[in-house]
Amino acid sequence: MLEAFAQPLSASTRYCAVFGHPIRHSASPALQNAGLAALGLDWRYLAFEVHPDNLREAIRGAQVMKFIGVNLTVPHKLLAMDMVDLLDESAQTWGAVNTIRFEARAKDGIWRPLRYFAETVPSEIRAHGFNTDAVGLGRALREDLGMELAGAKVVLLGAGGAGRVAALKLAAEKVSQLFLVNRTLPKAESLRDEIHQRFPEVKAAVGYPGQAVDLVVNATSLGLKPEDTSPLDESQFSLRQARAVYDMIYRPAETPLLRAAKGAGCRVANGVGMLLYQGTEALEIWTGRTAPVEVMRKALLNNIYGT
Ligand code: ATR
């Protein structure tokens, strides 16, 4: 048992939750409850299967039940942009919401996170949307791969929801060149155009590079299923031309891409770090305290890999 709450559940226990569809395999409850217990909070983190058609009602339900906050996972992150009362700069910048913090208007008229109200919570409550995925990716690339992103040349595989956040984050970190690769070409092209518009100093191009790069990032879903092949076409780009490879997938721990990258001598890391750091960031947004990272990492690895 990794989480050991000092107090049993009671009528004054506070709640956070994750909403997703599907949700059964989410590692977030293990991750967050370990963090909450280590901080000594009488809070719990729950998981709910919420169909996208019911997302608005579910957020509203958590709000009226005075939850501290919620996380949103697939397929809710884009939908929620229109369902919160206020968007933090992070959600505006990355165009997706994965963390909501509920805030109440105090007697002095100031909005404060619900953690500030112990006895009576004011009835006027708003949902404040944040995005912690980009922070999570940046921190994972720095800490797990030792990457210096400024000036780096990067190949990004995937231009879906996760790929877009990754591309924008890498551009914001001032990588020098971004090579965008996606099965459906128009999606990579429109991402390239968005990068050009928002980050004109970053050279973004569609397709594999004809040169060595510092980093390859996989943001496609290829590798999740046992029969999946690598998302990287080695006839077009050799992994020997890459110094490091990051795969956002964390289950399985070693995807065909990471296996090949290891064989080619690249530094490699899977997506568990990104999952960890998006979660520690969310916990800090809710609690206002420094997240107990190592306790949370241990709980996450135990939940996912049984280690
Ligand atoms: P997410 O939110 O996880 O990014 P998504 O928006 O559905 O999910 O994006 C999935 C990504 O994986 C896309 O880049 C997708 O490529 P397409 O844009 O061409 O659909 C990529 N992907 C999924 N299955 C794939 C496959 N079999 N081969 C190549 N790319 C695949």
**Alpha carbon distance, N-terminus to C-terminus of the chain:** 13
pLDDT at 2: 60
Within this chain, do residues 124 and 215 fall inside the same structural domain, yes or no? no
Which bin fits 240, alpha (ψ -120 to 50), beta or left (φ > 0)? Answer: alpha
Per-residue b or e along 142-153, where b marks 16 or more CB atoms closer than 10 Å to that residue's CB: eebbebebeebb
Within this chain, do residues 91 and 43 fall inside the same structural domain, yes or no? yes
pLDDT at 50: 98
Ligand 1 midpoint to CA 96 (Å): 17
The predicted model gives 129-137 an average pLDDT of: 97
Atom index in ligand 1 nearest the CA of residue 221 equals 12
Q: pLDDT of 236-284, one tens digit each? A: 999 999 999 999 999 999 999 999 999 999 999 999 999 999 999 999 9
pLDDT at 119: 83
Within this chain, do residues 80 and 103 fall inside the same structural domain, yes or no? yes
* Boundaries of domain holding 167: 135-270
Indicate if 77 belongs to the active site. yes
Within this chain, do residues 204 and 245 fall inside the same structural domain, yes or no? yes
Within this chain, do residues 264 and 288 fall inside the same structural domain, yes or no? no
User: Is the distance from the beta carbon of residue 78 to the nearest atom of ligand 1 less than 6 Å?
Assistant: no
Q: For 53, list phi and psi in degrees, rounded to 5.
A: -60, -20
Atom 2, ligand 1: which residue's CA is nearest? Answer: 161
Strand intervals (E) in 108-227: 111-113, 125-130, 153-157, 177-181, 203-206, 213-218
Contact 234, 288 (CB under 8 A): no
The Cα–Cα gap between 116 and 14 comes to: 12
Q: What is the mean pLDDT of the chain?
A: 96
Within this chain, do residues 93 and 148 fall inside the same structural domain, yes or no? no
Domain holding 203: CATH number? Answer: 3.40.50.720
pLDDT exceeds 90 at position 81:
yes
Q: pLDDT of 34-71, one tens digit each? A: 999 999 999 999 999 999 999 999 999 999 999 999 99
- What total number of domains does the chain contain? 2
Atom index in ligand 1 nearest the CA of residue 231 equals 29
Domain holding 100: CATH number? Answer: 3.40.50.10860
Single pTM value for the model: 0.95
Within this chain, do residues 260 and 284 fall inside the same structural domain, yes or no? no
Within this chain, do residues 214 and 298 fall inside the same structural domain, yes or no? no
Within this chain, do residues 120 and 202 fall inside the same structural domain, yes or no? no
Within this chain, do residues 36 and 125 fall inside the same structural domain, yes or no? yes
Q: For residue 6, name the pLDDT band (cuts at 50, 70, 90).
A: confident
Within this chain, do residues 139 and 260 fall inside the same structural domain, yes or no? yes
The Cα–Cα gap between 204 and 184 comes to: 17
pLDDT exceeds 80 at position 291:
yes
Catalytic residue among 77, 169, 187, 298: 77
Within this chain, do residues 185 and 210 fall inside the same structural domain, yes or no? yes
Of how many residues is the chain composed?
Answer: 307
The CA-CA-CA angle for residues 42, 89, 193, to 5°, reads 135
